[in-house]
Chain A
């Protein structure tokens, strides 16, 4: 009878002596946001070591990609990171377009930008709620959800789904948007801009919140670069690296937006960066809505895509960080090999270093501020 990996403790932790004990933040735990298991070695309330155990959400995405055609893989992309499904859609679609050299009409690019930035705002709103739920306040969670439902309404009117979108196609998007959608988006931008100060009133100025987050979980720029963290965590340390700015894809060069950075690299810096990113996304959407051209929404591509032989690597900026889709094609209808470099995997790698020596409550706060989506890590 083989040992069950789910129930044995890995031997990488030193043997227990003295007074420390092992606490299993099991795969089902309100603080781990999904099926992440952390084996924590503790001395009283202080964490000596925290070992994440992955694999509880492994759904063979890369193997599926080898057996599905390029079009059939689209729905699976949304299930990898369900909070940023449109970013993943965009990564796959842009990667194949790059490989096969398809043109994308302007209107389709604008639609893609509007929807993907709306998705980014909804992901950050959900993170805001979940992070504060970790810290113990559960009212911001519901307020964030109320605002997020409005975005979901907007996206549902265009794409048909609430969460796992499959809206982009190779060469464009699936169906056109209406003028009423654009009006609703402008209304929503106004509405959210008026709501954001109330978010800051409730949370950012709160003394308890500041005690719980300032000075906690700080990482240095060199640490961030060594561990390969990307996204708001990297920008929280002060390094201004955003794939939309540094390696622009789609039509991001046409929009003016700032890349917010923090200073300390701690939980509070990441919080501030994400809240400012919401505002920057609103700016981008506003510019896109006011300058969207008319035209076709999809260029002509063959029904069954046979990609030419070659490799392509496409990087996009998801709300969590940099996602790279790497496709190796040997001709044929299905790719030969697909590799996803997901941001949450690298972001999790710094968690073990951050957790040492901290109180358990801080460790869970740090985990919340890293904004991980576990099925993305496990693919």
Chain B
């Protein structure tokens, strides 16, 4: 019993460190990838090819002065970034990285992840509220509306997957994909995959849906008043959210840890590659597209994505009843 608890704690520590390392280097790779798409190189001088850049950023942010606006609401101001980060990190617990390897393989894994991503949205809203500054307030309001709208679209896009797999358990979903062409659900669930890709951009507040944080209009949106390490917590929360969403996309639509051939001693390789591809997709979209306007985002979410996702659910139902068995 005690051994099991100790082993779980060890597992948590290992997974946590790996994820944090990934998050730190996700920021580095974003600057590099977007830099190369923009005819320039990203960080080059801090360590070989800039590889030590995230470490420098992290240390610098950690040792900045802790600035606190006088009129801000203290407990909420402090709690908001922590909520964002914790909600995102908790979702990692239910993601299976390979066969039988998840910190906690619960039967309602997908539902848990959807719930946690709403909590992350709550953190953003709290940040905007607690800062007591108009820019932050506007950012928080926009974030609340956007996250709520796209929650529905994302949930509905996954319903098709749930119907085909017959379970909410993440490992089951991956195993059930073995019967689909190429072993992925992206092909029978094309509509669902498309809606999921768009909704995942909106859930993590990334371009073209980065209104809550839009830099050219709201200065820095909901994190305007945050300095130093608290800002770093928001940053980390955003990237962990990206990794979580990419993992969910991989598991539900791209076949999880399965791959064309077995790689000995490194079963996680296919999962990692697929997650990296989806994260590259995040960066690619950020480098290319301008930003949507607030009401256009709402219109897109409610009038386009939700009907598409509903249509996908109906289609899946029909196909499952009459065509597949």
Binding site for B on A (CB under 8 A): 21, 23, 29-31, 45, 132-139, 142-143, 146, 202-203, 206, 208-209, 211-212, 359-362, 364
Contact = CB atoms under 8 A, between A and B. Distances in A.
Interface stretch (B23-31, B32-40, B85-93): B32-40
Nearest to A23: B134
Most chain A Cβ neighbours within 10 Å, of B37, B135, B138, B293: B293
Contacts of A137: 207, 288-291
Interface string B26-62: 0000000010011110000000000000000000000
Interface in B190-220: 207-208, 210-211, 214-217, 219
A137 B214 CA distance: 11
Q: Counting chain A CB atoms within 10 Å of each CB, which of B134, B211, B287, B289 scores highest?
A: B289
A364 B38 contact: no
A308 to B, nearest CB: 50
B295 interface: yes
Interface in B288-308: 288-296
A108 B296 CA distance: 52
A136 B207 CA distance: 8
16 contacts: A23-B134, A29-B219, A30-B219, A134-B217, A136-B210, A136-B214, A136-B216, A137-B207, A138-B287, A142-B40, A143-B38, A143-B39, A208-B291, A361-B211, A362-B293, A364-B216
Interface string B80-105: 00000000000000000000000000
Nearest to B135: A23
B293 A212 contact: yes
Given A31-B217, A135-B291, A212-B293, 19 more contacts: A30-B216, A45-B138, A132-B290, A133-B216, A134-B217, A136-B208, A136-B214, A136-B289, A137-B289, A139-B34, A139-B38, A142-B38, A146-B39, A211-B296, A212-B296, A359-B293, A359-B294, A361-B211, A362-B293
Nearest to B296: A211
B52 to A, nearest CB: 25
Contact of B215 (A23, A30, A359): A30
Contact of A208 (B40, B208, B211, B215): B208
A142 B219 CA distance: 20
B294 A361 contact: yes
Nearest to A140: B290
A139 B37 contact: yes
Interface in B131-148: 134-135, 138, 142
Given A23-B134, A31-B216, A137-B288, A211 B38 contact: no
A134 B218 CA distance: 11
Contacts of A202: 288
Contact of B290 (A23, A206, A364): A206
Nearest to B299: A211
Contacts of A206: 289-290
Name which of B39, B216, B293 has the most chain A CB atoms within 10 A of its CB.
B216
A360 B290 CA distance: 16
B288 A139 contact: yes
A304 B39 CA distance: 48
Interface residues of B, number: 28
A360 B142 CA distance: 12
Contacts of A45: 138, 142, 294
B216 A208 contact: no
A136 B290 contact: yes
B290 A212 contact: yes
Nearest to A131: B290
A211 B292 contact: yes
Nearest to A135: B290
A133 B38 CA distance: 13
Contacts of A143: 38-39
A364 B214 CA distance: 12
Contacts of B40: 142
B264 to A, nearest CB: 41
B217 A360 contact: yes
Nearest to A361: B293
Contacts of A136: 207-208, 210, 214, 216, 289-291
B216 A134 contact: yes
A136 B289 CA distance: 8
A362 B211 CA distance: 13
Nearest to B37: A139
A361 B217 contact: yes
A146 B134 CA distance: 36
A27 to B, nearest CB: 13
A142 B138 CA distance: 29
A142 B210 CA distance: 20
A379 B293 CA distance: 34
Interface string B277-293: 00000000001111111
B289 A208 contact: yes
A139 B288 CA distance: 6
Give the interface centre of A206, A211, A361 by most chain B CB atoms within 10 Å. A361
Interface in B1-18: none
Contacts of B215: 30
B216 A359 contact: no
A153 to B, nearest CB: 16
A93 B298 CA distance: 54
Q: Which 9 A-B pairs have the closest CB atoms?
A: A136-B291, A137-B290, A142-B38, A135-B290, A136-B290, A361-B293, A30-B216, A146-B39, A139-B287
Contacts of B289: 136-137, 206, 208
Nearest to B40: A142
Interface in B157-211: 207-208, 210-211
Nearest to B290: A137
Interface in B246-270: none
Contacts of B287: 138-139
A212 B296 CA distance: 9
A208 B217 CA distance: 17
B150 to A, nearest CB: 16
A300 B61 CA distance: 62
A31 B288 CA distance: 20
B290 A209 contact: yes
Contacts of A208: 208, 289-292
